[in-house]
Chain A
Amino acid sequence: MSDHETFRQETRAWLETNCPPEMRQPIRSEDELFWGGRRASYISAAQRIWLDRMAEKGWIAPDWPKEYGGAGLSPEETNILQTEMGRLGCRPPLSSFGLATLGPTLLKYGTEEQKREHLPKMLRGEILWCQGYSEPGAGSDLASLATRAEDKGDHFLVNGQKIWTSGADKADWIFCLVRTDTSSKHNGISFLLFDMETPGVSTKLIKLISGYSPFCETFFDNVKVPKKNLVGELNKGWDVAKYLLSHERESISGEGLETGQLSLGEMAKRTIGTEPGGRLDDPVLRARIALFEVRAQAFRAMSERFVDELKHERGHPAQASIMKYFGTELNKQRHELIMDARGMDALEWESERSRGGADARAWLRTKANSIEGGTSEVQLNIIAKRILQLPGA
């Protein structure tokens, strides 16, 4: 038996023994996931046990080095673990934006002290991170950001405003892009980490078209940040920022994958014929769903290829832009079709029957997919310039 086959069998056996049955149920809403943070509470004892066991094993971020709380698994082993978790229907023990984005960034750019301080806590879900990137005047043109960090000897003094800070009202720490030199656009940006409880930090919720408020405006008024919280070199934060963005793109592109959700085809199958003369009794809608499913399944192959290439350090670095672009556009289309297929039911906004307008609110939420983390148009710019090598304007 090959080493990989042995690992697969051991992994399967371990998961079967250690993953509580409650943690193998399909996820019905985001509330059932554990997002971590100082103020977080577990929804069940099983959720806590599952996180503890996986963290103990180093399998929250299995491919990270052991000294920072990972398990040092090879790409193949990581893949086997993910496949086996999928096969058993194991829920992710921790859903963490920081884990997927700041984690790899600190591994690459962080000091030894930063890695030891932040990575183990991230893996245990002790600290919830938010991202201070966009500003009112710096959206797609992110590098024009203006939040200032003045050098005050032993600390930076931060003043300014961020916007679209996901979960800033709940977050414990922020990773933040600040301007440390006004004479150069890209070479005057630095990457800072700081505690959201630092005096001078305040947040305000932004109400979105979905009725939810996942984003905040975040204000900094004379916030003191210790010098040791600078990631990478002073004024070289743009490189760090871009590296993190490529990981963010990968995690957002996963939206198009229908992971843990019913495929549209499956949804169609369950609905067709159950309501004579009703919603899916419509050949044109059926055809649109069928053509969508072609794209969704093809994109699944694309994701598999992307992950395989990433693990083996092949493929063009700008491939992440293809994933982000295609995945988010696909997800928007998916929710348009769900709205079409569910007809009038999908329009209810408050009723219990509609789980508080879950379909409509999810549909509206997806509209941000192609805006956040770099708009579709920005991704197309990247593909055009970096892959197709088309000339600059």
Chain B
Amino acid sequence: MPLFHTEQQAILADTVRPFLAEEAPIRHMRALRDADDRIGFSPQLWRSFGELGLNGILMDESEGGLGLGHVEAGIVLEEIGRNLTPSPFLATAVGAVTALKSGSVSQRETWLPRILNGDAVGTLAVDETVRHRPERITLQADRIGSRFRLVGEKRFVTYGHVADVLIVAARTAGSEDEELGVTLFLVEREAANLTAEADRLTDANLAARLKFDGVELSADAVIGEIDHGFGALSKTLSALCAGVSAEMVGVASGALSMTVGYLNERKQFDRLIGSFQALQHRAAHLYAEMEVARAAVLKAQQLLDSNDQTAEQAVMVAKAMTCMASALAVQEGVQMHGGIGMTDEYDVGFYMKRQRVLAESFGGADYHANRLARLAGY
């Protein structure tokens, strides 16, 4: 498969781009923030996603979905990134839907239709400490007969305070750094003894800290097999990492085009500042970094879609490379704008804040480079 978008994929991009640019441009995010909205996204926009069929992008056609893949999900996410659109698309249509692929028929029949029409939000609850360490799961799920009782905490759960369903990685056996003994549970937001506290993050989005204070679940809540949830968790994380990478490409290209626009309009010393070689070279360097990151992301998406055994490695490369390149894009964006880039009124700072949050999500460049090194055997 050639490493560029097919004609159908280009058509999808041409559909999604104006939709988000019109329905949810940066001022949409700014308005939610300024109104101190406590949901974190527009439920109406989420239903529009459903009407367009976007929420079913990764669902099979037999389940009402579009039967498409991560390349297509990435096209949507790049536009979400470019417009800084607050949306549960990544958490739900990519994260929850991928996790549910390992779920039972009844779990799928319960949740997929509601996700599809933009009624339900689902999200993965995996992080417990200050850094993303999915290989260390300590939230305890004790067996009581055929039931489970969950005790522990999760943090950095995107929209965890309003999600209808949480996918929770818990420990049913083994020690805290063992893969065996991790089980994935579907937990409804309304469950007793579950409390959520939403934190506003740097980028104005909301993420929740969840407290499981003896949340009781039946065996029906288990996704896949008890103790063997790590595989499904890894697949979900790979899908999410590819998705976050695509969103960061969107964030970075939004910042870059805003910056190039500014270089072409701002005058100092009686000339456009974009004519200064010092700035041209930095912009060109940044563009080259971004093109390489973009290629790495597309490669990872294609490999995920073809179930290639090297997909997970390609995802690590994509996430790490995109973290580095997009960090440069947003930092240069602010610097090249000069003083106005420091103001809240101007949008370029939003890109910088969003990039920070996305880079931390599901592990940054250091985390993934380290995994890559381990995988290579050094």
Contact = CB atoms under 8 A, between A and B. Distances in A.
A289 B280 contact: no
Interface in A352-393: 377, 379-381, 383-385, 387-393
Nearest to B292: A302
Interface string A298-319: 1101101110110110110001
B376 A266 contact: yes
Interface string B363-378: 0011011101100111
A390 B274 contact: yes
A265 interface: yes
Q: Name the 6 nearest CB pairs between A and B, nearest first.
A: A384-B280, A383-B284, A298-B296, A301-B299, A290-B373, A308-B2
A322 interface: yes
Contacts of B298: 301, 305
Interface of chain B, helix or strand or loop or mixed? helix
A12 interface: no
B264 A391 contact: yes
Most chain A CB inside 10 Å of its own CB: which residue of B285, B295, B316, B365: B295
Contacts of A305: 3-4, 295, 298-299
B326 to A, nearest CB: 13
B318 interface: yes
B4 A314 contact: yes
Interface residues of B, number: 45
B200 to A, nearest CB: 32
Interface of chain A, helix or strand or loop or mixed? helix
A286 interface: yes
Contact of B283 (A263, A322, A377, A384): A384
A174 interface: no
A133 B317 CA distance: 39
Given A291-B365, A294-B317, A392-B275, A265 B296 contact: no
Contact of B324 (A294, A301, A393): A294
21 contacts: A265-B376, A269-B376, A280-B378, A294-B320, A294-B368, A295-B292, A298-B292, A298-B317, A301-B295, A304-B295, A319-B291, A322-B288, A383-B284, A383-B288, A385-B280, A389-B260, A390-B264, A391-B275, A392-B275, A393-B276, A393-B277
Given A314-B4, A315-B4, A322-B287, 14 more contacts: A266-B376, A287-B370, A289-B378, A290-B369, A294-B320, A294-B324, A297-B314, A298-B293, A298-B296, A308-B3, A380-B281, A381-B280, A388-B284, A390-B264
A390 B263 contact: yes
A158 to B, nearest CB: 35
A287 B263 CA distance: 36
A325 interface: yes
Given A297-B317, A308-B3, A380-B284, A291 B378 contact: no
Nearest to A391: B275
A340 to B, nearest CB: 14
A298 B376 contact: no
Interface in A309-344: 309, 311-312, 314-315, 319, 322, 325-326
Interface string A267-292: 01100100000001000001101110
A195 interface: no
A392 B280 CA distance: 10
A150 interface: no
B321 interface: yes
B283 A390 contact: yes
A319 B365 CA distance: 26
B340 interface: no
Interface in B260-312: 260, 263-264, 272, 274-277, 279-281, 283-285, 287-289, 291-293, 295-296, 298-299
A181 interface: no
